[in-house]
Chains A and B, each alone.
Chain A
């Protein structure tokens, strides 16, 4: 067990830093530091393509799909430099961090060849179709149905149903989704993991305005939407296993990029506390120190998680990671409000535009909900890491 980087890795760091600096002080100056998910969309889509062309989009992927076969240390370095340079949040993150790794791991060669290079190149964007109005924490209760039909273009899945909380669907060409493909099945059995094109008459979006005032997520309606039979990842009926695999990728290298965003938020908070004198308040000092501790812990928990093998059941450091960061960030939002005082309540501009920290306070309320609420996380930790009995169900 050791920290620290080799001279070759430090050289790689300089290479990343130089490229990022050149781009972000040049053509992409305007989106340096952009954090909101739906701000400056055109330029950020262009940024994704530039990252792709220069092979900085998915450096951990194999070269043949647009990556660099980068080592863990190199991925850590890139994430650090990306944040240090103030590069914008990734518009393509659902493809890069979830769809791509899932297809890489569970897909077949044809699917890899078809989808991965386009994700890497920033040419196709993805969204995630998991939750439904009646399948939230109880995700296996999904009702969206898909059936195989012979059409003019060969065998196709025909999909009917509704997904919700679908982030960035308005910019996506594709959705990865779990659908019930075995009529009469219940729970995790009988689900399939389908890749579905968004631009077709059978798919309708309705934006949802959320707590921050932004419209970042959507309802997605499938009314006879179609996708080729071969765009099922894993075997039909094995969708649950694949979907859980995707959730595990949320604990992958992408956590490093997320932490870098957190670090930037923390530094903004410290700057604000020093500027307005809150940094002299002994209780605020304790809480800032606590937040700093959490930030460090996340870094080293992530490194433990990533350095361990990927085989078999998730180890405890991976099972406890989500609730840790979510709770940390929610607390950071509360601390930011206490540091800023009543000034945080006043919008920067109409209709409802707030500075980064107050907006983060609002946005952080979703952290302890999405990708498994804190309550669901505690069940998972207790059952899988501590071996306590599973929750009884009321319906089976």
Chain B
């Protein structure tokens, strides 16, 4: 047991900070926001190909760096800190987590290798309009030959319109429940599949709506077999939630740091506002929330590595995912909201970045399950629905 970052991990953090300082300034961010793609292809090239970040945490046998979930969490925290806009989470946090959990070795080799090489932007289309993690919006009608026909739509597909590869969760026609879930992989340009960019309240997180109308899917595009994705998909999603939480953690710290900086220089009543307890105590509370979230991310990322090594159970992974999402979503929201409040009027303007942190925190809060949803999962996981213990623990 060693619960501090290793020198190698600290070096990765340093490298990430340096990269984001060069490619992720506020001016840069505004330029990306003004464009149509939602990321800067040049920065993405540097990140994915030159630095090899998309493959950093992928196994070496598919050309990855062979590092783990802790290293990936560091990258996502540091990019999240400056709201760096790129499909890094979609590709390396989400799509690869699903492929690693659901795909057989040959399929992994086929789809992960281009991701590791930085040659492929990938994402996942999971939910329908409600956005609830269990509400899948696509249906697969099996054709009897190992493939099928895909119909329906998925909302909230991160970078869905610029992805080279989309993983689609689909229910098998006429069936319900986890058992009936199929994971399908579709390359860009598949006939019958269209993706439309949506105008989002949070402009830093580009969603598309993906529609499939009679899309023919061959057996090789089915990941892990028809109706077979259920549990593996749920685990993949949990691993993705943990990666996503790391990005939220970065955002929370970013919003807090920006606000502390402002409170240290803004003068009112002849004093910097950071000297008033009304402001200072609120900022202290935000740091408490951020440090708690950081502990949660460290623990959950370690749990992914333990789970993959066979030394943690599926239950432990599920608990960690629900915990870290609930904790990081709230810390980020709290920091985003207070960034606006403590900046005062300027924080309410379009030109200031406070609103971007706030909006990013808000969209992150619902993306892979709300804090309430995750806490309800915890309630079930820790046994609140088990039969009452025999004659123990009664208060009287």
A274 and B386 in contact, given A301-B292, A320-B291 (Cβ under 8 angstroms) = yes
Assess whether A289 is in contact with B375, with CB atoms less than 8 Å apart: yes
Q: In A297-318, which residues have CB < 8 Å from any B CB?
A: 297, 299-301, 303-304, 306-308, 316-317
Q: Interface size (A, Cβ < 8 Å)?
A: 65
Assess whether A358 is in contact with B395, with CB atoms less than 8 Å apart: yes
A317 and B393 in contact, given A1-B302, A292-B378 (Cβ under 8 angstroms) = no
Task: Tell me, yes or no, whether A344 is within 8 Å of chain B by CB.
Answer: yes
Assess whether A76 is in contact with B394, with CB atoms less than 8 Å apart: no
Task: Tell me, yes or no, whether B284 is within 8 Å of chain A by CB.
Answer: yes
A389 and B1 in contact, given A296-B296, A379-B280 (Cβ under 8 angstroms) = no
Q: B394: which A residues are within 8 A, CB to CB?
A: 272, 275-276
Q: Provide the A1-19 mask, 1 if CB < 8 A to any CB of B, else 0.
A: 1111100010000000000
Task: Tell me, yes or no, whether A149 is within 8 Å of chain B by CB.
Answer: no
Q: How far is the CA of A279 from the CA of B382 in the complex (A)?
A: 11
Q: A375: which B residues are within 8 A, CB to CB?
A: 277, 281
A3 and B396 in contact, given A274-B384, A286-B379, A323-B288 (Cβ under 8 angstroms) = no
A381 (CB) vs chain B CBs: closest residue: B284
Q: B243: which A residues are within 8 A, CB to CB?
A: none
Q: Provide the A265-284 mask, 1 if CB < 8 A to any CB of B, else 0.
A: 00010111111100100100
Q: How far is the CA of A300 from the CA of B292 in the complex (A)?
A: 9
Specify the main secondary structure of chain B where it touches its partner.
Answer: helix
A3 and B299 in contact, given A292-B378, A307-B4 (Cβ under 8 angstroms) = yes
CB of B110 to closest CB in A, whole Å = 31
**Residue among B9, B311, B312, B375 with most chain A CB within 10 A:** B375
In the complex, which of the residues A4, A268, A303, A320 contacts B288, with contact meaning CB atoms closer than 8 Å? A320
Assess whether A378 is in contact with B281, with CB atoms less than 8 Å apart: yes
Assess whether A288 is in contact with B283, with CB atoms less than 8 Å apart: no
Task: Tell me, yes or no, whether B298 is within 8 Å of chain A by CB.
Answer: yes
Assess whether A297 is in contact with B389, with CB atoms less than 8 Å apart: no
B389 (CB) vs chain A CBs: closest residue: A271
Q: B311: which A residues are within 8 A, CB to CB?
A: 4
Task: Tell me, yes or no, whether A189 is within 8 Å of chain B by CB.
Answer: no
Task: Tell me, yes or no, whether A192 is within 8 Å of chain B by CB.
Answer: no
Q: How far is the CA of A324 from the CA of B288 in the complex (A)?
A: 7
A1 and B6 in contact, given A270-B384, A285-B384, A289-B379 (Cβ under 8 angstroms) = yes
Task: Tell me, yes or no, whether B355 is within 8 Å of chain A by CB.
Answer: no
Task: Tell me, yes or no, whether A346 is within 8 Å of chain B by CB.
Answer: yes
Number of A-B contacts (CB under 8 A): 189
Q: B271: which A residues are within 8 A, CB to CB?
A: 389
Q: How far is the CA of A4 from the CA of B283 in the complex (A)?
A: 34
Q: How far is the CA of A383 from the CA of B319 in the complex (A)?
A: 35
Task: Tell me, yes or no, whether A110 is within 8 Å of chain B by CB.
Answer: no
Q: Provide the A350-378 mask, 1 if CB < 8 A to any CB of B, else 0.
A: 00000101100000000000000001011
Assess whether B395 is in contact with A388, with CB atoms less than 8 Å apart: no
In the complex, which of the residues A285, A320, A341 contacts B375, with contact meaning CB atoms closer than 8 Å? A285
A297 and B296 in contact, given A3-B302, A320-B288, A382-B280 (Cβ under 8 angstroms) = yes
B294 (CB) vs chain A CBs: closest residue: A317
Q: A388: which B residues are within 8 A, CB to CB?
A: 260, 263-264, 274-275, 280, 283
Binding site for A on B (CB under 8 A): 1-6, 9, 70, 260, 263-264, 271-272, 274-275, 277, 280-281, 283-285, 287-288, 291-292, 294-296, 298-299, 301-303, 305-306, 311-312, 319, 323, 326-327, 372, 375-376, 378-379, 382-389, 392-396
The 4 closest A-B pairs by CB, nearest first: A271-B393, A340-B395, A289-B375, A381-B284
Q: Would you give 14 A-B contacts (Cβ < 8 Å), ordered by A?
A: A3-B3, A4-B306, A271-B392, A274-B389, A276-B394, A285-B384, A296-B299, A297-B296, A297-B327, A307-B2, A307-B3, A378-B285, A381-B288, A389-B274
Binding site for B on A (CB under 8 A): 1-5, 9, 72-73, 76, 268, 270-276, 279, 282, 285-286, 288-290, 292-294, 296-297, 299-301, 303-304, 306-308, 316-317, 320, 323-324, 339-341, 343-344, 346, 355, 357-358, 375, 377-379, 381-383, 385-389, 391-392
